Chains A and B, each alone.
Chain A
Amino acid sequence: GAGVSQSPSNKVTEKGKDVELRCDPISGHTALYWYRQSLGQGLEFLIYFQGNSAPDKSGLPSDRFSAERTGGSVSTLTIQRTQQEDSAVYLCASSSRTGGAGEQYFGPGTRLTVT
């Protein structure tokens, strides 16, 4: 079975541009998370989806960040008007247990560089 996949693996964008990052979770996993790994902040939680429930957006750093999950599967993280401090590796994880109490499996990440 395939693991969590993310695309693109690398993205270089100019400051002020919008970017979209994609995550394909493990088939059948109902919980999906986005995290960000940066040099200064380590690994930090961004947003959580569980089934068709409203997402938990408590970790999003600003209103330039948004995410959606279509059909309870694929998720897209969008960053509008990118800033240099948005440069980081964006990691997606999925889990099979309701409420995300189970083991989280991570994708390889998207390395975002804002120039």
Chain B
Amino acid sequence: KQEVTQIPAALSVPEGENLVLNCSFTDSAIYNLQWFRQDPGKGLTSLLLIQSSQREQTSGRLNASLDKSSGRSTLYIAASQPGDSATYLCAVGGGSARQLTFGSGTQLTVLP
């Protein structure tokens, strides 16, 4: 059974800092990996999707990497802003339905 772990559980940084969120998974037989953000009381917003054959994806200030063989992904956020404050979820796609298995998230607070 796939298990996804995210470290740290919570992170507080001053505005302008670059930061890295970590995600690890136990089964390397994945189809893709998706990073989401979730604001309090809201649904999930997709940030980046990495296919299993890819090593990284970039969108604006965000860069996600994937090392399938070691079961790791990182989300790099450059020049953080208070608006980046949210919970970031890593989800691995796999299984018979290609369903997503989620980590428990990293709660990020960017201080002005």
- Chain A residues at the B interface, C-beta cutoff of 8 Å: 31, 33, 35, 42-45, 48, 50, 56, 58-59, 91, 93, 99-109
Contacts and interface: CB of A to CB of B under 8 A. Distances in A.
A104 B34 contact: yes
B6 to A, nearest CB: 10
Summarize B's interface: helix, strand, loop or mixed.
strand
A48 B95 CA distance: 11
- Most chain-B CB neighbours within 10 Å: which of A42, A48, A104? A104
B7 interface: no
Interface residues of B, number: 25
Interface in B68-112: 89, 91, 93, 95-105
Contacts, number: 65
Contacts of B89: 43
Contact of B97 (A58, A107, A109): A58
Nearest to A89: B43
B26 to A, nearest CB: 15
A42 B102 contact: yes
B105 to A, nearest CB: 8
Nearest to B32: A101
Given A91-B44, A103-B46, A108-B42, A48 B34 contact: no
